[in-house]
Amino acid sequence: MTAVSVRRRVRDALIQVYERRLARELGDADVPRHVGVIMDGNRRWARSIGLEDVAHGHRRGADKIVDLLAWCDDAGVQVVTLFMLSTDNLRRPDSELQPLLRIIEDVAVDLSGPDRRWKVRQMGAAEVLPPETVAILKQAEEDTCDRPGATVNLAVGYGGRREIADAVRSLLTEHAARGTSLEELVEVLEVEHIADHLYTRGQPDPDLVIRTSGEQRMSGFLLWQTANAEFHFTDVYWPDFRRIDFLRALRDYSARHRRFGG
């Protein structure tokens, strides 16, 4: 056995010990009901190991999703929202966008397989996506709607500002159908009325948002819903995200005294 392999085995053993200790510490801690994840760093991960085709990074990142959902199940998280493709991403060259869409479709098929327990939901502006991608996402939603596990929102073709605009448009359309005048709507309009038309209607707002790769910005992710969320930023690229990184995010969340409104 080489010195490198010995060091690796020792490192892995120490990580396992640390993971178990973190898990014990979190035994009685508050658990976020809804966790949002900005899975960033796939392209940089691919380039960091010398790969020219960044699709390998997206594929490796996609392979990490089932692990994350299993960790969320273990922790008792009820809703997970995965930021997979923004409306801005749709402007990428076809040579990168098309493989990414195929990877997203494969994720939807995998998560909706007969051996899975999660409820899959498509979240975003379906009209900006290719019809075949929409069909696969909708089929995954239909196939899993009665499953007992956590809800998994796949944010594909998603933009936070667009979601708010869509919510207002839906609200206005609903009241127009009822015969409500604009003046009457202005008199009764409350924040909750808009929230009832968001993509996440009926779900708790995110308690915790995790972003990988070292970036410390939201990129338009769940702009409305994260008004009172806690944020955890890690330098780890998404394909390298480990259970220990997830547990650290939960520890960070549980250590904070949440204050709403200031």
Domain enclosing residue 53, as ranges: 33-255
**Active-site position among 42, 89, 153, 205:** 89
User: Into how many domains does the chain fold?
Assistant: 1
Question: Is 153 one of the catalytic residues?
Answer: no
Q: Residue 256 pLDDT > 60, yes or no? A: yes
In a domain, 12, yes or no: no
Mean pLDDT, residues 111-132 taken together: 97
**Active-site position among 12, 28, 30, 40:** 40
Question: Is 42 one of the catalytic residues?
Answer: no
Q: Residue 183 pLDDT > 60, yes or no? A: yes
Closest CA to 225 of 210, 251, 203, 246: 203
Residue 51 belongs to a domain with what CATH number?
A: 3.40.1180.10
> Tens digits of per-residue pLDDT, 25-75?
777 778 999 999 999 999 999 999 998 888 999 999 999 999 999 999 999
Q: What local confidence, expressed as pLDDT, does residue 258 receive? A: 55
User: Beta strands 34-38 and 230-233: pairing type?
Assistant: unpaired
pTM (predicted TM-score): 0.90
In a domain, 235, yes or no: yes
User: What is the pLDDT of the chain when averaged over all its residues?
Assistant: 92
Portion of the chain with pLDDT greater than 90, in percent = 82
Mean pLDDT, residues 174-191 taken together: 93
CB count within 10 Å of CB 138 equals 14
